[in-house]
Structure 1
Amino acid sequence: MLFVPMAVFEHTRVSDPKRYLWLLGLIAPACALFPSQLVALSGLPVFWWIGPIIVFVAIPLLDLTIGRDGSNPLDEDYEALSDDRYYRWCTYLFLPIQFISLVIAGYFWAGSELSVLDKLGLAVTMGVVSGIGINAAHELGHRSEHLERRLAKIALAQSGYGHFFVEHNRGHHVRVATPEDPASARFGERLWEFLPRSAFGGLRSAVALERERLARKGKRWWCRDNQILQAWSMSLVLFATMTAVFGPAIIPYLLLQAVIGAGLLETVNYIEHYGLLRSRRPDGTYARCSPRDSWNSDHLVTNVFLFHLQRHSDHHANPSRRYQTLRSCEQAPQLPAGYATMVVLAAVPPLWRAVMDKRVLAHYGGDLSLVNSKRG
């Protein structure tokens, strides 16, 4: 049983109006804890699909109703807010709930009580959990503490996307908003073109980066220090254990939820930097990443649900900042809606381009030469 010291729930001297709202971020991994009870109480099998219902229906409606939050922490509160361990526990607790939910899902996938359609709904729900689990890993993986970096790899096990730990920190953050970054979408590029380019490009980049790191230390690829193999081995152990416990019948559903989780991550990547290009210095090198190089959103509900991921402009400009300290930047380009809504728009390329292309051009004063285009 996970023990949570009560001290982490005590108030610090910093007044944070969103302090207890961050616990709502744990709704995502809990998605698979309640469908069976909701179906039993209501008689409606639609609740096996509760993950996409919450993320792509309920949250966009709440974003529309509640609106934006432009509040920023005060500079004098930054250190105390960053050191407050309450916010760390909000991310730590994601993991046990995530894996308890996966075990419950495995039980239902292996049984004969559900129809194939209901099992598919549960797999999609777990795919949403898996994708948002990558977001929890994203927050943990940026930290310098060994515990949090280990937890990041564990959180990635469900999606089988362990190489993200290497590529995001050492690849994406270095090349973001340039044609060299596979995770930065180009102007006019459709989501369905971007997904394979980013997924396979990110994998190749991660392998190359880790191979170079090991070579500098005089080590070969097949060694215990290989961070990609460490993360992938956790996925292998998790999937093998689930299969051993529940039988091979769950394998298609395990794989489906992993693919959906990875696809959700890459769709968010598509949204975060679409069409944006860092400026160049006189010597031709790219300038340091600034808040202008990432799309930002201050829609409150999605921000709480995703641990401030939508304050992506400040995150890239200051990657060491913890999620509770991220700021809204005036110079950052603003999305018209939260990520949950933008994911739906991205899935329909003509609609996406009608909404976003004019915003990219407006950001650069109509100058196409400043845009990260498909011509690179």
Structure 2
Amino acid sequence: MVGISYPLGAPASQVTWRDGKRYLWLLGLVLPAFPFAAWGLAAATGYGIFWWLLLPVVFGVIPLVDLLVGKDSDNPPDSVLAWLESDRYYRWCTYLFLPLQYAGLVLACWLWSRGGLSAVDKAGLTVTIGIVAGFGINTAHELGHKKDALERVLARIALAQTCYGHFYIEHNRGHHVRVATPEDPASSRLGQSFWAFLPRSVYGSARSGWHLEKQRLGRLGKSPWSPHNDVLSAWAMSAALFTVLTAAFGPGVLPYLAVQAVIGFCLLEVVNYLEHYGLLRQKTPSGRYERCTPQHSWNSDDIASNIFLYHLQRHSDHHANPTRRYQALRHFEESPQLPTGYAGMILLAVVPPLWRRVMNPRLLAHYEGDVTRANIHPRTRGKVLARHGSR
């Protein structure tokens, strides 16, 4: 997937690395264009099944391509990381996601409100918009970690559709500090199903984001109930968006807007669930947690999922270097590896017996059979230790 070339006129010692996936990153823009594709195909054929098309593409086609194409574990050499991150082409691959995301949302509101679609068709369109919104949160994740003020603003805009603007605060200043510890609501535990994890992460992340902002404003001598609170301003942005859409298309669009938002942030949370499942940072003699290492994130180098998720699956390097841009993230051999990409793992996560059968043995193998080194769910701790503790 990679090659080496020399820039014209450069000395032989100056080597330029060529990203073999450079133009594949544009495929990330296919997903937010799906509402338009569904509309065109449904109108051309008269078949309402096309409103549901994105669902089997994301959870059928992409996992299949992951299995057929395989993995890419090549890393860019350290000597080209600065050059690679400065290439603005990669930034535009993420910037362009947002206008497509919101154009699709406006189209959906128009279709929901104008009539002509059956209840099943509207449901399919809602699911499609919700999936796009979930991928929009991933785009916001990539942009929100950057130092550039424009990218941070774009991240907040991308999050407005799912009413999840607090993620911008909690993820950067909460999750990245507490990752792979029992204190982190976004780090799932051994023995904890996704359905038990979901309410804890949703509520805990919102509460954590509010608490972090309250602390920050307290240090500045300001009240949390003020325009300076980034959580309140993020929620206000969502309220303004929904108000404008309701004013333009009528109150009938509100139920669909609410459902697509829930679908979007549930996609985020199921990804949170699988990224650190059961992994635990040990405490040092000082009582503090050890530094986060590549062994505290589940990784995957499956190509298709990584293309559509902007290398999110190289999660260990992301935690080691949060501001590093997606195209420069590296694979670590010592990281625990998922059996397939995120799209396929999501299907396992929503079926807890299948998830446990696949992931619990991998987690135990990662800790060489010592289950006491894992982050165990308190409610199932006795059961887990009784079953695996003797190992």
Query: 2:121 is matched with which residue?
Result: 118
Matches within 5 A, 1:228-239: 228-239=231-242
| 2:322 is aligned with 1:316 | no
Matched, 1:88 2:91: yes
What displacement does 1:152 show?
0.5
1:44 aligns with 2:50: no
1:57 Cα shift? Answer: 1.0
Matched, 1:102 2:105: yes
Report if the CA contact (8 A) 2:17-2:76 is conserved.
Answer: no
Q: Are 1:299 and 1:337, in contact at CA under 8 Å, matched by a contact in 2?
A: yes
| CA radius of gyration, larger in | 2
8 A Cα contact 2:294 2:332, kept in partner = yes
**5+ long unaligned stretches in structure 2:** 1-14, 382-391
CA distance in 2, matches of 1:35, 1:226: 39
Q: 1:135 Cα shift?
A: 0.4
Deviations 1:83-127 (A, max 9, x none): 111111111111000000000111111121100111011001111
Cα distance in 2 for residues equivalent to 1:108 and 1:65: 37
Question: CA contact under 8 A between 2:17 and 2:77: conserved in structure 1?
Answer: no
List runs of 5+ in structure 1 lacking aligned partners.
1-11
SS, match of residue 19 in structure 1: coil
Q: 1:248 aligns with which of 232, 243, 251?
A: 251
Separation in 1, partners of 2:225, 2:16: 49
| 1:47 alignment partner AA | F
Residue 293 of structure 1, aligned match among 288, 293, 296 = 296
Q: Report the Cα offset of residue 13 of structure 1.
A: 4.7
1:51 CA drift (Å): 2.1
CA distance in structure 1 between the partners assigned to 2:147 and 2:278 by the alignment: 31
Structure 1 CA distance for aligned equivalents of residues 69 and 35 of structure 2: 26
Paired residues, what number?
Answer: 365
- Offset of residue 61 of structure 1: 1.1
Greater alpha carbon shift after TM alignment, 311-320 vs 87-96: 311-320
| Corresponding residue number in structure 2 for 1:306 | 309
| CA distance in structure 1 between the partners assigned to 2:234 and 2:91 by the alignment | 21
Tell me the amino acid that sits aligned with residue 331 of structure 2: S
Larger displacement relative to structure 2 (221-230 or 269-278): 221-230
Q: Is the 8 A contact 2:179 2:187 kept in 1?
A: yes
CA distance in 2, matches of 1:128, 1:166: 22
Q: Quick one: percent identity of the two aligned structures?
A: 58
Alignment match of 2:155 (pick from 137, 152, 157): 152
How big is the shift at 1:291? 0.6
Q: Is the 8 A contact 2:145 2:323 kept in 1?
A: yes
SS of residue matched to 2:355 = helix
Partner of 1:266: 269
Distance 1:202 1:146 in 2: 23
TM-score under structure 2 normalisation?
Answer: 0.92
TM-superposition CA deviations, 1:5-33 (whole Å, max 9, x none): xxxxxxx9541111111111111211211
Structure 2 counterpart of 1:270, one-letter code: Y
Match of 2:333 in 1: 330
SS at match of 1:57: helix
Moved more, 208-217 or 275-284: 275-284
Aligned residues of 1:51 and 1:126 also touching (Cα < 8 A): no
- TM alignment of 1:17-36, pairs within 5 A: 17-36=20-39
| Distance (Å, rounded) in 2 between the aligned partners of 1:355 and 1:279 | 24
Partner SS for 2:357: helix
**Partner in structure 2 of residue 186 of structure 1:** 189
SS state at 1:15 partner: strand
Deviation at 1:43, TM superposition (A): 3.0
Question: Using the alignment, how far apart are the partners of 1:99 and 1:79 within structure 2?
Answer: 32
1:146 counterpart letter in structure 2: A
Equivalent of 1:212 in 206, 211, 215:
215
Which residue in the other structure is 1:166 paired with? 169
1:137 is aligned to 2:146: no
Partners of 1:83 and 1:225 lie apart in 2 by: 32
1:34 positional shift: 1.1
1:65 to partner: Cα distance: 1.1
Equivalent residue letter for 2:227: R
Moved more, 215-224 or 242-251: 215-224
User: What residue identity is the alignment partner of 2:356?
Assistant: R
Contact 1:14 1:80 in 2 (8 A): no
Q: Distance in 2 between matches of 1:314 and 1:69?
A: 15
Q: What letter corresponds to residue 99 of structure 2 in structure 1? A: P
